[in-house]
Amino acid sequence: MSDDLKYCQGTSCHTYNTKDRLKGTKENKTFQTRRRSHFYYGGGNFCSLNCQNDWFSKYGDRAINHFGRLTEPKHLTEDNAWLKDYDWRANEDDSHRYFIVNGITKEQRPITREQYRDDNYTLNTS
């Protein structure tokens, strides 16, 4: 099997006894954690929303405490209201297909497809 395959991180994935989880040789078949090259949930870590929820139920509280629990509200201001978006009706080669829009001022600026896909690209300053 390829090393590119990864396991679903769901804490109870193996307990959902679907046919595709049943693995092993004839006498020794067991329901096992799903293994795939790609998962669609939880940033590619979970095979289903169920498994994602299972994980969060068990570890979510500790994860939030570990990475920093919000103890006061965040504020949306002009400085951090920029959000990337795209016009699905525009042609692929249309330079105005991708844009960044300010949720407060509604100002729109065109961006390139590369900027749209770059997770580090933003106009937000706070």
**Contact residues for Zn ion (CB under 5 A)?**
8, 10, 13, 34, 47, 51
- Quote the least distance from Cβ 24 to Zn ion, whole Å: 18
- The helix/strand/coil state of 75 is coil
Cβ of residue 92: shortest distance to Zn ion, in angstroms?
Answer: 35
Q: Which is nearer to Zn ion, 10 or 111 (CB)?
A: 10
| Of residues 50 and 115, the one with the C-beta less far from Zn ion | 50
| Identity of the residue, 10 or 100, whose beta carbon is nearer to Zn ion in the bound complex | 10
- Ramachandran angles phi, psi of 108, nearest 5°: -120, 135
Cβ proximity to Zn ion: between 34 and 97 the closer is 34
The whole-angstrom separation of Cα 51 and Cα 8 is 8
CB of 41 to Zn ion, least distance (A): 8
Query: What does the DSSP 8-state code read for residue 46?
Result: B
Rounded to a whole number of angstroms, the minimum distance from the CB of residue 113 to Zn ion is 33
55 burial (CB, 10 Å; 0-12 / 13-18 / 19+) is buried
What one-character-per-residue DSSP string does 84-125 give?
A: EEE-TTS-TT-TTSEEEEETTT--EEE--HHHHH-TT-----
